[in-house]
């Protein structure tokens, strides 16, 4: 009979943990798990350690560096994520854990991240810049509305326009405002409206909803269609707290569709009240003007005199002017006569003969000075010329020849400077002071040099 101990399989702790780990990894394939991050840690090794939890349970997780390098967002405590993972066991502590191979934001978080990324991209391209936004027209006669034909938004817009200014024409471009087909339909509706030239403004919008419901108005193609529109666009998407990419790129943002209709239309009742006020002001202004003109007529009637009296006054005034003119002319003539007499007296005292004599004496003095100067210059030039001629005569070759020297030239006219330049039989020319001597060489010798 075998003992009880020989029938039992006894595991060590490490063997047990290894066996459990192998069972988990073998029987559970890759899983997708969604949860909220807590206890997030990023040590120097680059690996991530965290806990995923929901309202009732939690599990420890690890994501190694070679996997987390591919995550395109920064996880943090409180982030809702969706992970692809393997179930495993950390043998050292016996802890059950998930080994994460892929991580992405879940639900609202992913959409919110896409929203922020597209918002930043379009802002960098300048689609939100104020210089690209067109002013709304002061008067709108025909309005284009891109929205659902059965939604609350179009009902609110038509209700507000009917109450405030019913003469505004409205053309509805029907489109879906949520779902996968909505973005393409919104773009087509905006482009269709721009094919007409009679629209003064356009409202693009819908009622409120979740981020997922409003997502077509966060699509890049919708934003670019609004930016390219020739018609000024009012974005009216969601309630007051909701913002979409369309709100940022539109020329004007309204918090609700009703507010958009308020912004684009004047208040008819207020205008009627203004017209009544204008009528009262105009009547009062006409009354004041009539009273003022009546008073002016009475004043002019009192000031009006007989034309004969006015003519007599004008004739008397002309007589006074004639007298003043004659006096002024006589006074001016008398002053000119006195000035002429004064000039004649001065001219008589200043005779031109004395001035001419003075200029003659001055001219004679200048001529004498010039003659002396010219004579001195001529004497100086003659002296310099004599000195130069004496110097030239001193160095003249003819002087040298006159002292008994001669210049000997060969048959080619070259000067003979050495006995080495001639041989017996050469005919030479000897130039002396008064002529030339031709001779033939009998022999040469250099004895005269010793």
121 and 75 in one domain?
no
- Cα separation, 285 vs 44, whole angstroms: 86
β partners of residue 172:
145
CA pair distance 388, 415, nearest whole angstrom: 28
Four-CA torsion 103, 105, 111, 115, nearest 10 degrees? -80
The reported pLDDT for the residue numbered 298 is: 83
Cα-based distances in Å from 140 to 136, 236, 255, 273, 330: 9, 17, 20, 20, 80
pLDDT value of position 117: 84
Q: At what angle do helices 152-164 and 268-303 cross, to 10 degrees?
A: 20
Q: Does the residue 345 lie in any domain? A: no
Question: Do 121 and 69 share a structural domain?
Answer: no
**Residue 263 CB burial class (10 angstroms; 0-12, 13-18, ≥19):** middle
Residue 35, domain extent:
13-106
User: Given pLDDT bands bounded at 50, 70 and 90, which one contains residue 242?
Assistant: low
In this structure, the answer to whether residues 32 and 142 fall within a common structural domain is: no
* Same domain (yes/no): 117, 256: yes
- pTM equals 0.45
The pLDDT tens digits for 176-224 are 998 889 999 999 999 999 999 899 999 999 988 777 788 899 999 999 9
Domain boundary among 217, 235, 269: 269
Residue 450's pLDDT band (boundaries 50, 70, 90)? Answer: very low
Give, to the nearest 10 degrees, the angle between helix 257-264 and helix 152-164. 30
Distance (Å, whole) CA 55 – CA 82: 16
Mean pLDDT of 88-95: 80
Residue 281 lies in a domain: no
| Lowest-confidence region among 154-168, 213-227, 297-311 | 297-311
Q: Could you report the per-residue pLDDT of 116-144, keeping only the tens digit for each? A: 888 899 989 998 898 888 889 888 999 99
How far apart (Å, rounded) are the C-alpha atoms in residues 313 and 320? 11
Residue 375 lies in a domain: no
What element of type H or E holds 63? strand 58-63
Residue in 385, 381, 384 with CA at minimum distance from that of residue 373: 381
Name the band, by pLDDT with cuts 50, 70 and 90, for residue 240: low
Do 74 and 50 fall into the same domain?
yes
Beta strand 169-174 with 201-206 is unpaired
Question: Looking at residue 387, what is its pLDDT?
Answer: 85
For residue 63, is pLDDT > 90? yes
Closest by Cα among 50, 53, 46, 52 to 62: 50
In terms of Cβ atoms closer than 10 Å to its own Cβ (0-12, 13-18, 19+), residue 344 is exposed
Distance, CA of 130 to CA of 119 (rounded, Å): 15
* Average pLDDT over all residues of the chain: 84
Query: Exposure pattern of 157-170 as b/e (b: 16+ CB <10 Å)?
Result: bbebbeebbeebee
pLDDT of 1 over the 50 cut: no
Q: Where are the alpha helices (DSSP H) in 265-351?
A: 268-303, 307-349
Name the more confident of 342 and 174.
Answer: 174
| Together in a domain, 87 and 201 | no
Round to whole Å and give the CA distance between 203 and 236: 7
Q: What was the pLDDT predicted at 299?
A: 83
Could you tell me the CATH number of the domain that includes residue 229? 3.40.50.261
Q: Are residues 117 and 25 in the same domain?
A: no
pLDDT score at 108: 62
| 63-91: average pLDDT | 89
Contact between 269 and 298 under an 8 Å Cβ cutoff? The reply is no
Number of domains forming the structure of the chain: 3
**In this predicted structure, what is the pLDDT of residue 405?**
77
* Residues 91 and 204 reside in one and the same domain: no
Residue 151 counted as domain residue = yes
Same domain, 152 and 259: yes
The secondary structure of residue 420, as a DSSP letter, is G
Instruction: Please give the residue that has the higher pLDDT: either 341 or 7.
Output: 341
Residue 338 lies in a domain: no
Which residues sit opposite 63 in a β-bridge? 48
Q: Note whether residue 98 is domain-resident.
A: yes
Residue where a domain stops, chosen among 227, 249, 269: 269
Question: Which residue matches tokens 């034309």?
Answer: 307
Residue 348 has pLDDT above 80, yes or no: no
CATH number at residue 28: 2.40.50.140
Q: With pLDDT > 70 as the criterion, what percentage of the chain qualifies?
A: 92
Q: Within 10 A of 97 (CB to CB), how many other CB atoms are there? A: 20
- Residue 95 and residue 141 share a domain: no
* Residues 142 and 235 occupy one common structural domain: yes
pLDDT above 80: residue 25: no
Q: What confidence category does residue 66 fall into, taking pLDDT thresholds of 50, 70 and 90?
A: very high
Asked if 155 and 218 sit in the same domain, the reply is yes
- Three-state DSSP at 306 gives coil
Is residue 253 one of the residues assigned to a domain? yes
Residue 355 belongs to a domain: no
For the cut 60, the answer to whether the pLDDT of residue 322 exceeds it is yes
Average pLDDT over residues 83-106: 86
């Amino acid at each position: 009979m075998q003992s009880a101990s020989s029938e039992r399989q006894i595991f060590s702790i490490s063997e047990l943990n290894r066996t459990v780990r192998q069972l988990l990894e073998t029987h559970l394939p890759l899983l997708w798990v969604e949860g909220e991050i807590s206890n997030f840690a990023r040590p120097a090794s680059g690996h991530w350690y965290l806990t995923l939890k929901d309202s009732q349970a939690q599990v420890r997780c690890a994501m190694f560096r070679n996997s987390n390098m591919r995550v395109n967002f920064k996880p943090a405590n409180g982030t809702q994520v969706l992970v692809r993972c393997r179930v495993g066991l950390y043998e050292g502590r016996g802890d059950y854990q998930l080994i994460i191979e892929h991580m992405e934001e879940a639900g609202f978080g992913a959409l919110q991240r896409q929203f922020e990324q597209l918002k930043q991209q379009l802002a960098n391209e300048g689609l939100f810049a104020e210089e690209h936004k067109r002013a709304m027209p002061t008067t709108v006669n025909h309005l284009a509305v891109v929205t659902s034909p059965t939604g609350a938004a179009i009902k609110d817009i038509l209700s507000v326009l009917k109450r405030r200014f019913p003469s505004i024409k409205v053309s509805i471009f029907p489109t879906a405002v949520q779902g996968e087909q909505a973005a393409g339909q919104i773009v087509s509706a905006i482009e269709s409206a721009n094919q007409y030239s009679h629209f003064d403004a356009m409202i693009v919008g819908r009622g409120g909803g979740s981020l997922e419901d409003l997502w077509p108005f966060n699509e890049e193609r919708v934003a670019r269609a609004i930016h390219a529109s020739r018609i000024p666009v009012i974005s009216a998407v969601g309630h007051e707290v909701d913002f979409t990419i369309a709100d940022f790129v539109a020329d004007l943002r309204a918090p609700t569709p009703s507010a958009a209709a308020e912004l684009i239309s004047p208040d008819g009742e207020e205008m009627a009240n203004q017209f009544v006020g204008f009528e009262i002001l105009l009547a009062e202004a006409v009354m004041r003007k009539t009273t003022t003109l009546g008073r002016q007529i009475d004043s002019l009637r009192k000031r009006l005199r007989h034309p004969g009296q006015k003519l007599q006054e004008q004739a008397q005034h002309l007589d006074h002017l004639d007298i003043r003119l004659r006096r002024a002319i006589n006074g001016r003539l008398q002053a000119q006569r006195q000035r002429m007499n004064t000039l004649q007296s001065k001219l008589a005292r200043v005779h031109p003969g004395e001035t001419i004599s003075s200029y003659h004496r001055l001219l004679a003095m200048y001529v004498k000075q010039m003659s002396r100067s010219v004579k001195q210059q001529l004497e100086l030039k003659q002296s310099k010329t004599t000195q130069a001629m004496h110097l030239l005569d001193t160095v003249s070759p003819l002087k040298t020849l006159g002292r008994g020297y001669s210049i000997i030239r060969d048959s080619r006219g070259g000067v003979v400077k050495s006995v080495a330049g001639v041989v017996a039989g050469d005919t030479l020319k000897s130039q002396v002071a008064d002529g030339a001597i031709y001779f033939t060489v009998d022999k040469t010798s250099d004895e005269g040099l010793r």
